[in-house]
A and B are shown apart, each in its own frame.
Chain A
């Protein structure tokens, strides 16, 4: 983790460059005396600035450390890459496991493979899986079983670990509060005698072989509610087996060789490493007829969330019309496990030395990845940009193949995106329907090379700007009034729960209920009507056909929309000028759709579905479609609630979330 922090090495560099610039000036100027004076003043100034910057940086760094989001893009402390344990042909491993309130560690043959003494972090049960033949660390997890549901995740994980692996457990701080019987029974079945009786603030260590012997267990009971059990240190020996015994005997094929390499290194991927019936790692989905995106490179932007990447690549490689040769996975950092996943699927992976921190780090990684993509595929006119926490719809490439010509021909387009910000289970209906929207949704999208090379790349935010790349792309200076094409039903699904800007609550509220297309080969409807002028004709036709809803009713109520199907309804809301989203935001809130910033609009018009009817919302008088409002109708105005605690805080933090 130290390496990825606001690099202390950077500051001396900056000082140095100032110094050099100053020194250089000295040599070049004639009026030395005058310069000495200015130089001295300058030096003082520089020193002051550098110092202030130093102080600020330190404070910022300290502040960041305090922040809740321990699960960062760089996965912080817990997943620091550990040197794999040396083999040395030794038959016995010395294992040391320590459990205490504030610190845990595990050492294998004297090498520390886990050490966590960070404050306010890493609470719960730490689990390490070792290869029984080599002693290599295959997986490291921590389950905060003080909190609910974490024990279920632990059970899931333990069930996935292959028989014969060596499992090491240790508790930091507290690991029993939400450790339910199911989990205790699983631990018991592994041979633990203490697990069924683990209680509040007990310390516990355990080493055993899955489905085999127990190498040791130590436990210290907490004497009282307010105190912790004494630290325990377990020292034991583990006998290694032969490599033969630790491997599955799959038929010797190219695919299985990749599988073998993968399965001997990492754990926690379930049936892909099953000896009996391993899940396939090659998918051969149907090719697409007349695939217009077969030669379009696909950049998968990844950090250190290998399990996510695994899930993502599976869905990507299962999508019809996928061309694995065009896929490149860009990993932000020199993490081994994501690279193992990439190699398992026979794809090409590229690692990027991280620059800067947090959002800026992600932005720099995006830039490096996009630049490299167009270098690797110099013929490409487009690139598909994906992220490691997305599921890809089976007709993702079919969707793009049918629409990509628009991006090539219609200069008023900014992107094609697979994601509809407003496409929730209860608001999206038609897999063949496309929209034009003024916002850039991201989450699986197509970028035009000329846009990147001529406009974005030259002025991409520099590393010191802590900006979100997607927020930057949405700014008017970049978007320049252009629009994106999106489907009504998303062709990607955002499953990431941990990540920069992401947490469980946020995911539950805004992403979980997103609709995701599962129908193959959807024929998109009326694609040509998505062109700039044709779309206006289409909207006018739609509004002409739409039935005006009863504006005396409450638009938040279900009864606002009649119990019909397949009809088109329109409502008018108050929108004084282009940037007046007061009523829209309230409406979005009560409809339980994206309300953290404005998404999915086209000239003051929103399109979604309610009760299987197409539902149009027009902002009056700002929208050019206001003319469609019958004079008898008064646009609905919804008042923003008086500022309340909590409710306001989330949007403020989360405005930048959606990537």
Chain B
């Protein structure tokens, strides 16, 4: 591994530069030694370091083994350095902790229940490790454990201390990961040498940092969904099974298409209600509903869906006002895409009645987007789901309704005038 001389060299450097501290560098070096001696692959996800690395990424990529003239990244005095560990790449073993102790590390393991066992079945398994903290002297290494989940993404858990744990072990509030659970794409990794330490980093650090800024993940409310099905037994008819299958594949196709375009979308209306209330597609809902912020609108959306085999069924409104697209999926299942317009204190989307040219407006309180898993897909939903669903369906959203009129049933609908006749050709297109 790395010779001690390098460290000594940095110590000298440190003397000449204020605000530098080689303690951190030494602790990181020791930690990397520890995990490589146990063949545990970790990668660096520390946002502060990745931010610095990103500025020099070209240079770092071009000379992955080059010596560093000075300690640029690992010497800024910080309480933590954060690494990621893919659960499936290592075997939980006690040996690691014994070695760590011998090296002088104090360590803390944060366990919690395995969300992959959450579901409509009541399963309980052993708790799984979500976070590790290795502390040496004044520096701590935070290891975030990532798990692969159904939907081809990585998940990390929240960091919650149990009552018997040492709350002062490290300043937990300052940690960059663990306030919420998070969902990420599987990153491509790059072996690099920075500050003479060989580490793996995400190949695209700025992309990772961007992802991190909105990575919050919400678990489906399986317990409530089970209670819901106790009250309203699930429709197990063949029609229901068939519809769910079609809706699922339509949603997968829509997600693929929009993700390829880089257009952010979320589950809206009935599809969102289905996720929130019963963790499944509502079998009598007849369509799949998605929301997209109008600022994310791209003209390529329509051709992309057509190319994917989903012809445009109708287009109401225009980009400036009340845009709404509807595509025809397999058989009778259609895909509705509503575009959302942001105002100072609320967000709205529009509706249009084709025969009368009447306009409607559906108001929602402001919301942000979170990730969730739905029908084996990582998708966005409004983080403030309850407010969103209540705005749309009123306080009685828990009760299934089979007859729904989009013009009068929603509790957040407002009349919004009528389209001028001369615009009809443009704002009411039916195919």
Contact = CB atoms under 8 A, between A and B. Distances in A.
Contacts of B94: 254
Interface in A89-137: none
B121 A352 contact: yes
Given A254-B94, A378-B152, A349 B231 contact: no
A348 B244 CA distance: 33
Contacts of B152: 378
Interface string B54-95: 000000000000000000000000000000000000010010
Given A16-B231, A17-B232, A350 B123 contact: yes
A520 B230 CA distance: 50
Nearest to A454: B245
B87 to A, nearest CB: 10
A458 B119 contact: no
Contact of B126 (A20, A349, A371, A459): A349
A372 B148 contact: no
Contacts of A459: 236, 238, 241
Nearest to B151: A378
B117 interface: yes
B121 A13 contact: no
A376 interface: yes
Contacts of B160: none
Nearest to B280: A458
Contacts of A227: none
Interface residues of B, number: 29
Nearest to B236: A462
B116 interface: yes
B48 to A, nearest CB: 31
Contact of B123 (A254, A352, A379): A352
Contact of A375 (B91, B117, B232, B245): B117
A376 B238 contact: no
B125 A368 contact: no
A453 B376 contact: yes
A372 B231 contact: no
Interface string B23-58: 000000000000000000000000000000000000
B124 interface: yes
A458 B237 CA distance: 11
Interface string B120-139: 01111110000000000000
B149 interface: yes
Interface string B92-129: 00100000000000000000001011010111111000
B231 A13 contact: yes
B125 A351 contact: yes
Given A13-B231, A16-B231, A372 B121 contact: yes
Given A372-B121, A453-B376, A458-B244, A17 B231 contact: yes
Given A378-B148, A459-B238, A350 B232 contact: no
A353 interface: yes
Contacts of A24: 399
Contacts of A330: 123
Contacts of B245: 454, 458
Contact of B150 (A328, A351, A374, A458): A374
Contacts of B232: 17, 21
B149 to A, nearest CB: 6
A367 interface: yes
Contacts of B126: 348-349
A353 B226 CA distance: 13
B233 interface: yes
A351 B238 contact: no
A352 B122 contact: yes
Interface string A19-34: 0110010000000000
Nearest to A10: B230
Interface string A371-413: 1101110110000000000000000000000000000000000
B399 A348 contact: no
Interface in B203-241: 230-234, 236, 238, 241
A352 B121 CA distance: 7
Nearest to B237: A459
Given A16-B231, A17-B230, A17-B231, A368 B149 contact: no
A189 interface: no
- For A20, A24, A459, the residue with the greatest tally of chain B CB atoms inside 10 Å of its CB is A459
Contacts of A367: 121
Nearest to A21: B232
A541 B155 CA distance: 54
Contacts of B117: 350, 372, 375-376
A372 B125 CA distance: 11
A379 B154 CA distance: 12
Contacts of A462: 234, 236
A328 B151 CA distance: 21
Interface string B269-292: 000000000000000000000000
A625 B230 CA distance: 53
A375 B149 contact: yes
A554 interface: no
A325 interface: yes
Given A17-B230, A350-B117, A378 B150 contact: yes
Nearest to B244: A458
B281 to A, nearest CB: 10
A589 B332 CA distance: 52
A330 B121 CA distance: 12
A375 B149 CA distance: 6
Contacts of B236: 459, 462
Nearest to B128: A348
Interface string A525-555: 0000000000000000000000000000000
Contact of B119 (A254, A355, A371): A371
Given A21-B232, A24-B399, A350-B123, A375 B150 contact: yes
A254 B97 CA distance: 13
A351 B123 contact: yes
Nearest to A352: B123
Contacts of B122: 352-353, 355
B212 to A, nearest CB: 22
A21 B399 CA distance: 9
A375 B117 CA distance: 7
B149 A378 contact: yes
A459 B235 CA distance: 11
Nearest to B115: A375
A425 to B, nearest CB: 40
B233 to A, nearest CB: 7
A351 B125 CA distance: 6
Interface string B244-257: 11000000000000
A371 B231 contact: no
A463 to B, nearest CB: 10
Contact of B121 (A20, A368, A379): A368
A348 B150 contact: no
A21 B232 CA distance: 8
Which residue, B117, B241, B244, has most C-beta atoms of chain A within 10 A? Answer: B117
B332 to A, nearest CB: 18
Contacts of A378: 148-152
Interface in A244-259: 254
Contacts of A325: 91
Interface in A142-177: none
Nearest to B373: A375
Interface in A226-249: none
A13 B150 contact: no
Interface in A17-53: 17, 20-21, 24
A63 B117 CA distance: 35
* A-B residue pairs, 6 tightest by C-beta: A368-B121, A353-B122, A350-B125, A375-B116, A378-B150, A459-B241
13 contacts: A13-B231, A16-B231, A17-B231, A24-B399, A348-B126, A350-B123, A351-B125, A352-B123, A353-B122, A375-B116, A378-B151, A459-B236, A462-B234
Given A351-B123, A351-B125, A459-B238, 8 more contacts: A254-B94, A350-B124, A351-B124, A352-B122, A368-B119, A375-B119, A376-B116, A458-B244
